[in-house]
Structure 1
């Protein structure tokens, strides 16, 4: 076993890192002990090791460790589902609802179990457990609030605060409107002979785009969907499709986009939804590698130009480096040959 280093662009990696830290708690402390006693190392490294040891051997660190493992375990399946390019939107939205339910359940009934696990871990590793009814010794600005007990600090200031923050994040990213929008969009999925097809939800999906569908279009769309679903379910060319993108390509190949223009418009709108895939999340994660402290004044156009080759690595790996250099060579006269 080894410590898993958290990745900047993979949410579930932090969960694995905390789990491995919990499993290797004693070996980590042993390594820090060796660094602390190694006189050949710089004083700064040894001081950092001492500080880490002092922090890790506290009840608050162990409590936070177990709290975050529990919170991230609840959202781990959701995080992995959202990172898949070929994700199932309906199942992803179901995982959002489940995550919210489990977090609320944890907020209402999870304190005792978490405190018990933390206490057992502290006893096993000889870490002092503070008296929850005693007053917390605080300094600085926090002291102005007045005296608080350890129980209030851990339960209200940390336990409730972390769960509320996670719930707020889920509500912000997956509001009721956006979740409903994705569920409606999933009805276009052609898998399993269009088993997810729901005419009423697709009409509701169109209602989110009043600028693209006028009053007459809404009436015509309902009847067009009736003909469309019978047509594609009877056509063997539409039985092997794996996603909405395949559906769009097949409709163009078979000229169905001309026969069913309103349905094809729904398909195009579904494909342009950025929240439908994890592409936007991965793009934002990649920004930290492009817009660094040394390049913090990049304009939007230059940032976009840099992000495209970084993010679409599969495409740019197929382009020969010689072709890229020749293209830059032709842009303007240069003093040297690239």
Structure 2
């Protein structure tokens, strides 16, 4: 096992994962914010795609390989010649596939991982979905509908030809002007729209809670009661908040719950 960790292939894959995840980290954080800025999130999606595409095409391979070589030289890890045949670490010779190291590392690993990431982003955020998100941002009621854009509303209606006829779309700009004048003075409608806009984010939060359960209630703690599970989930999900609580405050709170024989000291 230690031989694998000290191999060029392991270092290559670790660097590749760190680089790709580094480019997508801002996007991940933007999509998980409680107060979602749709326009900003779409911008981050666009920039992430560009960065990955540049890494794939504009000399990204040479720069990446240089960084991997530098790390291997620093820690005495053997660097294979790219023109030699690929030899997987820890596997029998009969499993060798006659391809060069260059093909294995550049095509099968480097390009393949980037292409998968780009394909995933394009599938989830294609042009239509991105356009819909931008148009939906015009519903944001903050600052008396400061993000209101009549053109985006008309464009949004055009995505639903079964619900809006041609004549209705042509008349829509005038109706929208009356509409925005009315709702800017209606506090109830503003709250309703804000609720509608945060629902997708709230749904994502619920999904993250269920995902967190796999960490809290695992095979070693599969008999955990509902109340204890709920308490553990709260502290796990809101860990950024709970990390601000001092240990001394926790001890004082615990001691004050009831009389105890032993006084806990930090």
Q: Summarize the Cα distance change of 1:272–1:95 in structure 2 as closer, same or farther, 3 Å threshold.
A: closer
Q: Summarize the Cα distance change of 1:287–1:218 in structure 2 as closer, same or farther, 3 Å threshold.
A: farther
Which residue of structure 2 aligns with residue 63 of structure 1?
12
Which residue of structure 2 aligns with residue 285 of structure 1?
211
Contact 1:107 1:163 in 2 (8 A): yes
**Size of the alignment, in residue pairs?**
226
- 2:80 is paired with a residue of what secondary structure? coil
Which residue of structure 2 aligns with residue 324 of structure 1?
none
Does 2:141 correspond to 1:190?
yes
Which residue of structure 2 aligns with residue 330 of structure 1?
none
User: For the residues of structure 1 that align with 2:171 and 2:121, how far apart are their CA atoms?
Assistant: 36
Which residue of structure 2 aligns with residue 41 of structure 1?
none
Name stretches of at least 5 consecutive residues in structure 1 with no aligned partner.
1-50, 239-245, 252-266, 294-308, 315-338
- Report how far residue 270 of structure 1 moved: 5.3
Which of 124, 127, 130 lines up with 2:77 in the alignment?
127
Which residue of structure 2 aligns with residue 26 of structure 1?
none
Report the RMSD for the aligned CA atoms in angstroms: 3.9
Which residue of structure 2 aligns with residue 13 of structure 1?
none
Which of 84, 92, 100 lines up with 2:41 in the alignment?
92
Residues 54-102 of structure 1: per-residue CA shift (max 9 Å, x gap): 2221111111111111111111111000011211001101111110010
User: For the residues of structure 2 that align with 1:230 and 1:165, how far apart are their CA atoms?
Assistant: 46
Deviating 4+ runs (over 6 angstroms): 289-293
- Report how far residue 183 of structure 1 moved: 0.5
Contact 2:49 2:121 in 1 (8 A): yes
Q: Summarize the Cα distance change of 1:137–1:285 in structure 2 as closer, same or farther, 3 Å threshold.
A: same
- 1:278 is paired with a residue of what secondary structure? helix
Q: Summarize the Cα distance change of 1:140–1:181 in structure 2 as closer, same or farther, 3 Å threshold.
A: farther
- Report how far residue 284 of structure 1 moved: 6.1
Q: Which has the higher contact order (CA 8 A, sep 6+)?
A: 2
- 1:180 is paired with a residue of what secondary structure? helix
TM-score (norm 1): 0.56
- Report how far residue 222 of structure 1 moved: 2.9
User: For the residues of structure 1 that align with 2:206 and 2:123, how far apart are their CA atoms?
Assistant: 16
Contact 1:84 1:278 in 2 (8 A): no
Q: Summarize the Cα distance change of 1:141–1:248 in structure 2 as closer, same or farther, 3 Å threshold.
A: farther
Q: Summarize the Cα distance change of 1:183–1:229 in structure 2 as closer, same or farther, 3 Å threshold.
A: same
User: For the residues of structure 2 that align with 1:65 and 1:72, how far apart are their CA atoms?
Assistant: 11
